[in-house]
């Protein structure tokens, strides 16, 4: 007997990076053991920025291939689908928008950030982004939502909408809990910003070993450590934080001590990290290229996923329609 339902979504950004993996996908995979899981490619959300829409199809393919290679398993019941293939979400979005105060949307830090990024395209869809996200989650009555910590305000917002909706119309929707990994925010190779494809500070999971070495070599370490003989501060070093994830614990202790006494330099430290990354990701790359030998597989998974998602969506939207009193 499963403990409940998990839902998560991600914009079709193509090949996934270490941030996506450590912040979200790791939990997508782990939660499959005890929950019914639903994972969604949120293509409508991607339209809010109106950039790169010509890539939506390839990037959907590349992203889902990464998910499957990382261990998301439709054969065990997990539903993987594309948001726009289950149009009930747009109806729920409209209904939820009626219980959403506009001021709350425009005050969200994520909205303000988008306005800074695209001041010439502050469209209606962009303001409603979190309402569509709330519709995604509540259409499947999800109990748990694995996401990176950058989504915390969106999750809190969804919980508020659910409370307001249920207060007005009765206990129909489920209030979801966010679920974070031990590394809920991964920094990019610049060591400052969140790892993200749009900042080109990312490391792709599917990288070939040479590419992994090259990207790790570019990583910014402790800025105060300028000469090889300067002692380092592992607690402020992004390379060290990744050693914590990819390097065996005994070795991590040694690296920490050697960094503090300048016993090891950054170049060597990065080389060790890259080696460990290559080893860690080898089974992933192997599985990815195996799955890619059948170019239809991803689309078959998504077609089947949409059918199964619709079965749930139709039922919940019917409950919602009745609750709000639509004739
Ligand atoms: P996105 O590609 O922005 O749609 O994100 C997909 C998922 O990965 C979301 O759950 C994000 O919170 C998570 N994520 C993206 N970038 C990072 C990062 N740098 N650190 C941790 N989690 C991340
Ligand atoms: N806003 C999320 C992001 O940018 C993507 C997303 C859309 C999502 N709908 C969701 C995440 C539902 C979790 C649940 O990463």
Instruction: Tell me if 123 CB under 6 Å of ligand 1.
Output: no
Residue with tokens 């610049």: 190
Q: What percent of the chain has pLDDT over 90?
A: 97
pLDDT tier for residue 53 given thresholds of 50, 70 and 90: confident
The whole-number average pLDDT for the span 268-277 is 98
Range(s) of the chain covered by CATH 3.40.50.620: 5-186+295-324
d(CA 233, CA 225): 8
Ligand 1 centroid from CA 36, angstroms = 21
Segment 101-126 mean pLDDT: 94
Query: What is the token pair recorded at 109?
Result: 């830090």
**Cα distance between residue 276 and residue 302, in whole Å:** 33
Residue nearest to atom 12 of ligand 1 (CA): 148
Residues 202, 195: contact at Cβ < 8 Å?
yes
Give the distance (Å) from ligand 2 centre to CA of residue 8. Answer: 6
CATH topology of domain 5-186+295-324: Rossmann fold (3.40.50)
2-45 confidence digits (pLDDT tens): 899 999 999 999 999 999 999 999 999 999 999 999 999 999 99
- In whole angstroms, give the CA distance from residue 112 to residue 324: 31
Positive or negative torsion for Cα 219, 225, 229, 235: negative
Look at residues 172, 100, 174 and name the one whose alpha carbon lies nearest to residue 321: 172
Going from the Cα of 22 to the center of ligand 1, the distance in angstroms, rounded, reads 9
Mean model confidence pLDDT for the chain:
96
pLDDT level of residue 1 (50, 70, 90 thresholds): confident
CB contact at 8 A, 86 and 313 = yes
List where CATH 1.10.240.10 sits in the chain.
209-289
| Mean pLDDT of the 68-81 span | 97
* Structure confidence at residue 51 as a pLDDT band (50, 70, 90): confident
pLDDT in tens, 179-228: 999 999 999 999 999 999 999 999 999 999 999 999 999 999 999 999 99
> What CATH class does 209-289 carry?
mainly alpha
User: Could you tell me if the CB of 195 is within 6 A of ligand 1?
Assistant: yes
Kindly state if the Cβ of 42 falls inside 6 Å of ligand 2. Answer: yes
């Amino acid at each position: 007997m499963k403990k409940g339902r998990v839902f998560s979504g991600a914009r079709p950004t193509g090949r996934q990076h270490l941030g996506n993996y450590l912040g979200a996908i790791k939990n997508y995979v782990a939660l499959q053991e005890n929950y019914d899981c639903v994972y969604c490619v949120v293509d409508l959300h991607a339209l809010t920025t109106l950039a790169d829409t010509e890539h939506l199809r390839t990037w959907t393919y590349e992203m889902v291939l990464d998910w499957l290679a990382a261990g998301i398993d439709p054969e065990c019941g997990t539903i993987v689908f594309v948001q726009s293939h289950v149009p009930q979400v747009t109806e729920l979005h409209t209904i939820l928008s009626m219980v959403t105060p506009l001021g709350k949307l425009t005050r969200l830090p994520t909205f303000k950030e988008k306005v800074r990024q695209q001041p010439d395209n502050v469209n209606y869809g962009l303001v409603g982004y979190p309402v569509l996200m709330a519709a995604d989650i509540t259409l499947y009555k999800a109990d748990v939502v694995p996401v990176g910590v950058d989504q915390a305000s969106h999750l809190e917002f969804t919980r508020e909408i659910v409370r307001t909706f249920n207060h007005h119309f009765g206990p129909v929707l489920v209030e979801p809990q966010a679920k974070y990994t031990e590394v809920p925010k991964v920094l990019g190779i610049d060591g400052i910003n969140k790892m993200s494809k749009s900042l080109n500070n990312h490391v792709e999971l599917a990288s070939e070993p040479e590419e992994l070495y090259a990207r790790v070599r570019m990583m910014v370490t402790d800025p105060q450590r300028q000469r090889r003989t300067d002692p380092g501060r592992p607690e402020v070093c992004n390379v060290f934080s990744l050693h914590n994830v990819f390097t065996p614990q005994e070795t991590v202790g040694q690296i920490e001590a050697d960094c503090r006494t300048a016993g090891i330099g950054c170049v060597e430290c990065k080389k060790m990290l890259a080696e460990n990354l290559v080893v860690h990701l080898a089974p992933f790359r192997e599985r990815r290229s195996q799955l890619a030998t059948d170019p239809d597989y991803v689309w078959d998974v998504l077609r089947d996923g949409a059918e199964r998602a619709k079965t749930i969506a139709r039922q919940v939207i019917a409950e919602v329609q009745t609750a709000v009193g639509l004739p």
